[in-house]
Amino acid sequence: MRTLSVNWFIEGSVDFEHKKYLILSYLQEINQHFHKSRLYPNLSDLVFHYNNLLNFKQNKLTIQKAFPSRLTQADIEAVQLTYERMVKDDGLMQEIERIISYSLNKIDPALREGKEIYDFVESRLNIAPVGVVPLVPYHGYFLLKNGDERSNSVYEYQITIFEGKDDKYRGINTEFVENYTYNFVNTPESIKVDLITRRKHLPNPAVYQVESDIMFPLEQTLLPVAKQTLVKFISKAA
């Protein structure tokens, strides 16, 4: 996957034509992935760069709070110093603003396409609990069936709650367990019993069956969308 550095739009020569080439090449590859329904990490990377450009444009240098995994303190300090230096150069800032405006306009339709794909994948998912769900359903397993594939991929999940500036957020950590062949013997109920029997650290887990009626790229699309959809499903039901 073609990537852009955090501060690609102000690094090196601040030349509109050069930066235009960079963003168009980046988006060309992003769109190629989207056309094959490959969402991640492309969509999250696209969202990052879009917000990064907006933050610089608005001089709201709070990116490290929204994207702590992408920006180091050195990155933030570099942006601050660069901004302070550039605001004193009207011609340079005009070129940067031109680059940013152009890039935001080009990224926006790609973001909308990515969101449409995400919504479509989510609409093809069906989630149902397997058996009785415990009172605290934030740690357990989900069985993921991808279209017509004759297997259930089992993942152990744990939902975590963390606080942002203004609200609480839920994330999900997952670990692949194993694949079960999908047949009259390996039903979701029998898989649940087998997991409880063999994996003693979760004696009373929540178990969910997540199914897509269309086959999607597993790691790049189905799994990440299924994880987020499961978080919403459990949060709403809990």
Q: What is the predicted pLDDT for the residue at 92?
A: 77
Q: How many domains does the chain have?
A: 2
Q: What is the predicted pLDDT for the residue at 68?
A: 42
Phi, psi of 156 (to 5 degrees): -85, 135
SS3 state at 153: strand
115 with 154, same domain? no
130 with 89, same domain? no
Query: Is residue 15 a contact partner of residue 96, using CB atoms and an 8 Å limit?
Result: no
Q: What is the C-alpha radius of gyration for the chain, rounded to an integer number of angstroms?
A: 22
Query: Is residue 66 a contact partner of residue 164, using CB atoms and an 8 Å limit?
Result: no
Q: What is the pLDDT of residues 112-163, one digit of tens each?
A: 999 999 999 999 999 999 999 998 899 999 999 999 998 999 999 999 876 5
For residue 53, is it within any domain? Answer: yes
Instruction: Among 93, 122, 151, identify where a domain stops.
Output: 122
225 with 151, same domain? yes
Q: What is the pLDDT of residues 60-109, one digit of tens each?
A: 444 334 334 445 566 666 666 665 655 555 677 788 889 999 999 999 99
46 with 148, same domain? no
111 with 167, same domain? no
177 with 207, same domain? yes
Question: Domain span at residue 149?
Answer: 125-237
85 with 143, same domain? no
What amino acid is encoded at 88 in this protein? Answer: K
82 with 102, same domain? yes
Question: At CA 228, angle to CA 29 and CA 172, rounded to 5?
Answer: 110
